[in-house]
Copies of this chain bind each other. A is one copy, B any other.
Amino acid sequence: MKNSRIIEQIRPFFEPSSVVVVGASKHVDKAGHVIFKNFVENKRTGLFKGELYPINPREESILGYKCFPSISKLPVNEIELVVIVVPAASVPQVMMEAKEKYAKAAIIISSGFSEVGNRELENEVKRIAVEGNIRVLGPNCLGVYDPTSGVDTLFLPVTKTLISGEEVIATPRPKEGSIAVVTQSGAFGVAALDYLAGRQLGISKFVSFGNRVDLDESDLLNYFLHDERTKVILMYIESVRDGNKFVETAKNVSRVKPIIVLKTGKTKAGAKAALSHTASIAGSDEVYNAAFLQTGIIRAQNMNEFFNMGKALSMQPPARGRNICIITDAGGPGIMVADECELRGLKIEGLSEESFRKLEIMRESGQIPKFASLSNPIDLTGSVTSDMIVKVTEIVYHDKKVDGIILLGLHHVPGLQEDYVDRVALIASSREKPIVVCDIGETEMALYVRRKFEKFGIPAYASPEEAAYAMYALCYYGEYLNSVNR
């Protein structure tokens, strides 16, 4: 009951039938210009389908749209989403007018509230929102980017002009995908968009909630539980607003979709920094760990884990158990994976008797190298060919004793051609168990192979340890699902 109401209330943030930008501007340097222009462009291309109104008492029109001096002067009786980009002191007045027009949702981009000690002003905004039944994101936030509906309240333009006069991509918007990004820090949020776009990873929705005067991380988790486009939720937080609500919600969500959390302020120095950043009381890190454990949340310990685990869970099914088989053409990197797996508590047991015998026969008959190692890691050595990797992967994939595969196909060896990628993807297309791959290198062929794997939905990593902890995340989540569905 309560859940379905809040989902309906959050919907206008992502799919508003009308958007009013209060503080829209003609000046290219202004946040109100960038945001309004985002909507104008997305409306022009047909991506954004709602009505659009700029509010600015000093302009007749902005980017071809008739401008209104205030919300009260709008020629309609009802509006859905209000995006507010005016100085903090003016926000209560704007909210009052939004209330008169039955606004359903407000994104308050403006800063200058509790994060700088102005609690009273923030409380006033809150009071009006409650009275008017307006759900609020912010203040002091970036708001929403939704690649499907074209809502884009990010005041940072996609490009930036260098002093040299060259225009370069600076704050890209990722393509459509299945990862929801929820963040307390706006700066980390745009950095995440830049990372995901550059790595060709798509998102379902992006939300920066800032001071969370109203909607908080738990409400958003709840929304994404029901959002069909979202398969995995990546969340950056410095604190949780309501512990009980968070644990209850996260439990419900984790049963259906994985949540990966990057919780910062975990040390004394970090907690002090968090306090001065968002006035967040970081709280004891042990308490957070306990809460995450209880709710099935996967905790990323740093930025790379955050994205790498997110990629794995958005592309591959969770593992049923912890027995991982490593297939490699490179001895050293195979050891690195084995090390990292064991450090993370995964098991590197062997194959079933049956599979092992099949591999032995292949070795005896020269189908795989005479000196291939058949214990786990299975090392096909530098004499590997595409055929060998494919045949061995097929046997391991169908071995019931194996819960997941980490495949290292270092492309440097002479006999390995890139067609093994398509063929491995075909084997893994039944999605019976997770597979992740690694190829090391930062030049053409490595980038090509990794990208090709990911086009087939197989997450590819640039280091052995990344592949290992990505598999760890798949196992961790799989075990959580087992435990709650028992």
Contacts and interface: CB of A to CB of B under 8 A. Distances in A.
Interface in A384-427: 410-414, 417-419
Contact of A412 (B171, B183, B266, B446): B171
Contact of A116 (B194, B268, B371): B371
Interface stretch (A53-61, A122-130, A184-192): A184-192
A121 interface: no
Given A303-B465, A375-B272, A331 B443 contact: no
A168 B265 contact: no
Q: How large is the interface on A (under 10, 10 to 19, 20 to 34, 35 or more residues)?
A: 35 or more
Given A195-B440, A379-B277, A463-B304, A417 B162 contact: yes
A336 B302 contact: yes
Given A302-B463, A334-B273, A465-B302, A410 B187 contact: yes
The 6 closest A-B pairs by CB, nearest first: A198-B442, A185-B332, A194-B441, A187-B330, A277-B331, A270-B339
A382 interface: yes
A270 B342 contact: yes
Given A188-B333, A268-B342, A338-B270, A443 B172 contact: yes
27 contacts: A163-B417, A169-B444, A170-B411, A170-B444, A184-B332, A188-B333, A188-B336, A190-B410, A191-B441, A194-B442, A195-B440, A198-B441, A198-B443, A198-B446, A236-B332, A238-B332, A264-B335, A269-B338, A270-B335, A270-B338, A270-B339, A273-B379, A277-B373, A303-B336, A303-B463, A303-B464, A304-B304
A343 interface: yes
A199 interface: yes
Interface in A14-59: 29
Interface in A318-346: 326, 329-336, 338-343
B269 A195 contact: no
Contacts of A442: 194-195, 197-199
A199 B466 CA distance: 18
A156 interface: yes
A276 interface: yes
A333 B270 CA distance: 10
Given A267-B339, A277-B379, A331 B445 contact: no
A91 interface: no
B335 A277 contact: yes
B303 A343 contact: no
A273 B377 contact: yes
Given A156-B413, A185-B331, A264-B339, 12 more contacts: A29-B414, A163-B419, A168-B448, A184-B332, A187-B410, A191-B333, A191-B410, A191-B412, A236-B332, A269-B339, A270-B342, A277-B332
Contacts of A190: 410, 412
A274 interface: yes
Contacts of A419: 163
A9 interface: no
A304 B465 contact: yes
A116 B265 CA distance: 51
A187 B303 contact: no
A348 interface: yes
Given A236-B332, A330-B185, A332-B184, A156 B441 contact: no
A70 interface: no
A160 interface: yes
A186 B333 CA distance: 10
A441 to B, nearest CB: 3
A85 to B, nearest CB: 13
A278 interface: yes
A414 B156 contact: yes
A159 to B, nearest CB: 8
B338 A412 contact: no
Contacts of A302: 336, 340, 463-465
A234 B236 CA distance: 34
Given A168-B445, A267-B342, A412-B171, A191 B335 contact: no
